[in-house]
Amino acid sequence: MNTNGNWPISREDFSWWRECQPASFYNRNDDLVRGLAFYCRDKGRLAAYQDRLVRFGASAGTDINEAAETSNRPNNLPSVQSFSRGRDYIQQVRYDSSYHAIGSMLYGTGVMSLFSTPADNVIAMAFLHLLSLNGEAGHACPFACTAGLIKAMNALGTAEQKQRHLPNLLQTDYDKLYHAAQYLAESRGGSDVGANVTIAEQDPDREGKWLITGEKWFCSNVTAQVAVLTARPVGAIEGTRGLGLFLLPQRGPEGFANGIEIVRLKDKLGTRSLATAEILLKRVKAEALGPVDRGFKNMMKYLVNTSRLCNCLFASGAAQRACLTAELYADHRTAFGKRLSKFPLVRYMLGLMKAKSMAILSASLCLARMLDDLESASSDSTVTDRLYRVLLNLSKYRASVLARETVLAGIECLGGNGTIDNFSILPRLLRDCIVYETWEGAHNVLIAQTYRDFRKESTIGLTFDYLESAFRAATAPELDGVTFRALRLLESLRRRLMIELEADEPEPSWGFRTAAGVLADLFFLSRMCAEADWEAQAGLTDRQDSVKTFWDHIRSSARASRPLPNPI
């Protein structure tokens, strides 16, 4: 104890906290390494990217970690600079150099090329998970938007569009790279995209080209060189079926052009290192991406669904970082004469955090593998587009909720220090997680889509049959107690949801939402069981405690949401 005159000073300098931080997010990350080995279709392809994953994991734990913290400081957040040059009115968004340092390290891995060929989604999502251990960091959203455009361009673009845009989107040189934005929401419509009023007129001076007029309300990554947006061609029908999908080159090397005006940057709760804007479109020049009369369907399939999968990885990164932070603190911090990790309540909290983190990552990598199977038309897969969509929507909802819960638990483990921005990443992660919950579909929007899917085309049967098969396939004796009870809960849940659907209401009830949340958690559990079963064959048993912990979480959630007839 230090002294100052007659006054004792017992200040802790917390040097141990700085010293115990990890030097890599990939090395010794068993959940990710084993998950990749389990879900990756092409083991040779994974081996080819192994060194890049190792190097990027080291960067994510050190240089990117520091740069993400720096770029998120109030004085370094993006800002708009406007000035005139001759007759031109130029707008530029200023970023701190730390923001660009992250972009250089991320895109230098060549990760975007993984989206240019089918069946590489699992490996690509590993890079996104590692990045997301630092929160959104200003680049997770651009990553998602650019990945979606690459997929859409490959599927829908003309030969000329591909030749003009793909080389720029696949660049590894950050100074030459084109990244993408998605402009869907408008102040009038919000999640109700069919209510949007931005219009598209055929350009009288350019055959086959369009002029877009309107406003977009929530434009993340507004600094992108190219954007994809929805607009309604003049004379098209109302609702989503009348929307077209358009490609918008939006800025040259000197700033914004093409009739785009930034009204303001959003002062968001989280993801603050990312420039999100309100913009006005004044007869901006654009071109159709794919058939104009299929704009909404193509937007959902290639852009929104890609972003929803990426959002699951945002959540997995946040949850794993919160778990890592809390574990490090509890292992080193002393209170009441012993390490925090020795207290039973703290041990339980850490165990539950680990289980939730593992559950999100397992489900997210499984969804990426499903997409690999769909893109490669794998003959040995039982996955269909309808099943993938249901599980993706449910996962996006629950992954973001579980991540937020995990980060909050981490803050509690750190006590007062957990609330301090410059002590740990947890406050920033919490703010980012709350934004993740609304991106690419608020919870009720996703639940409503699931309700509509369950009411048609036997999608509910596909979903329950898939989960039942997954639990029955996990045959390790150590998992018998969990899988047996999970199957009982699954059957009870099927009966409950059928009652909800037979009511023939146009919109889902709160009871449907709570039951769908339990169903999503059972999907997460099924993936944990599948991985634990696979690992048990190699004599690895450390995942089984997390499986049982996550099952206890599901059982508690099911009982709290609504009594079920003898479910467990």
**Is CATH 1.20.950 what the domain over 30-169 is classified as, yes or no?**
no
pLDDT at 3: 54
- Do the beta carbons of residue 433 and residue 403 sit within 8 Å? yes
First to last CA, the chain: 54
pLDDT at 83: 76
User: What residue spans in the chain does CATH classification 2.40.110.20 cover?
Assistant: 180-292
> Which of 495, 306, 340 shows the shortest CA–CA distance to 410?
340
- Do the beta carbons of residue 426 and residue 133 sit within 8 Å? no
Topology of domain 180-292, CATH: Butyryl-CoA Dehydrogenase, subunit A; domain 2 (2.40.110)
- Do the beta carbons of residue 228 and residue 245 sit within 8 Å? yes
Phi-psi region of 255 (alpha: psi -120 to 50; beta: other; left: phi over 0): left
> Which of 396, 384, 319, 379 shows the shortest CA–CA distance to 354?
319
User: What residue spans in the chain does CATH classification 1.10.540 cover?
Assistant: 30-169
d(CA 344, CA 532): 25
pLDDT at 512: 95
The three-state secondary structure class of 302 is helix
pTM of the model: 0.94
pLDDT at 8: 64
State the greatest distance between any 2 C-alpha atoms of the chain, in Å, as a whole number.
86
d(CA 222, CA 219): 6
Report the Cα 35 to chain-centroid distance in Å. Answer: 17
pLDDT at 562: 60
441-463: burial string, b at 16+ Cβ within 10 Å, e else: bebebbbbbbbebbbeeebbebb
Which residue in this structure is represented by tokens 């071109």? 287
> Which of 217, 63, 62, 64 shows the shortest CA–CA distance to 139?
64
What are the helix and strand counts (H, E) for the chain? 19, 15
User: Per-residue pLDDT for the chain (568 aa), expressed as one digit of tens each?
Assistant: 455 556 666 677 789 999 999 999 999 899 999 999 999 999 999 999 999 999 999 999 999 999 999 999 999 999 998 877 666 667 889 999 999 999 999 999 999 999 998 899 999 999 999 999 999 999 999 999 999 999 999 999 999 999 999 999 999 999 999 999 999 989 887 778 888 899 999 999 888 899 999 999 999 899 899 999 999 999 999 999 999 999 999 865 454 567 789 999 999 999 999 999 999 999 999 999 999 999 999 999 999 999 999 999 999 999 999 999 999 999 999 999 999 999 999 999 999 999 999 999 999 999 999 999 999 987 667 889 999 999 999 999 999 999 999 999 999 999 999 999 999 999 999 999 999 999 998 999 999 999 999 998 789 999 999 999 999 999 999 999 999 999 999 999 999 999 999 988 999 999 999 999 999 999 999 999 999 999 998 888 788 999 999 999 999 888 776 644 444 4
Give me 541's structure tokens. Answer: 């048993």
Give me 54's structure tokens. Answer: 């190792």
